[in-house]
Amino acid sequence: MRMFTIKQTDEFSKWMKGLRDMTARAKVIVRIKRLAEAQLWGRQAF
């Protein structure tokens, strides 16, 4: 199984702050959290 490192870069932070659509911002955050959680438990995140 592949392990990935999830890092928050300055570029990503600026991009997130620039998102005006709060729904889109929330979906991005949820997706990243799912990926991190799935990696922790060794399963696929969809």
Q: Which domain holds residue 28?
A: 21-46
Q: What is the pLDDT of residues 29-44, one digit of tens each?
A: 999 988 888 766 665 5
Domain assignment present for residue 3? The answer is no
Residue 45 DSSP label: -
Query: Is 27 part of any domain?
Result: yes
Distance CA 19, CA 5 (A): 24
Q: Render the burial of 15-36: b for 16+ CB within 10 Å, e for the rest.
A: eeeeeeeeeeeeeeeeeeeeee
Q: Residue 15: pLDDT band by 50, 70, 90 thresholds?
A: very high
> Quick check: is 44 in a domain?
yes
pLDDT at residue 29, rounded to an integer:
93
Q: Specify if 1 maps to a domain.
A: no
pTM: 0.69
Mean local confidence (pLDDT), 11-24: 96
